[in-house]
Amino acid sequence: MSVSEKKVIRKKKKFGLVVEFVPITRDLFPDDETKKKIDEELARAKGITPEYLANKYNVRVSAAKKILKEAETNNIVELITSSRRTKVYSATKK
């Protein structure tokens, strides 16, 4: 994973309020070691979402969605439930 410096950005709002936040930069594609860890976790996961993968392994949500869709086509995980915003996957029963 790439190591980047955390930069605090100050955003001024109305009436003198100042909000400070740290933007999160995530990797576009996981490296081979991270991909291997993700595959091991997918094989034994009971419930996993793209947001969970993105937070845990510091990849973008779009990349996590692609990883889960690829795992679903390879019969590693199966779709449990789906809503308008998120999908929940589980490991297939062998």
> Is residue 17 in some structural domain?
no
Residue 72 falls inside a structural domain? yes
49 domain residue, yes or no? yes
Q: Which domain holds residue 79?
A: 26-91
- CB contact at 8 A, 74 and 90: no
The answer to whether residue 10 is domain-embedded is: no
In order, the DSSP letters of 31-64 are -HHHHHHHHHHHHH-SSB-HHHHHHHHTB-HHHH
Domain at 47, CATH number: 1.10.10.10
Residue pLDDT, tens place only, 23-75: 778 888 899 999 999 999 999 999 999 999 999 999 999 999 999 999 999 99
Q: How many domains, in total, are found in the chain?
A: 1
In this prediction the pTM is: 0.74
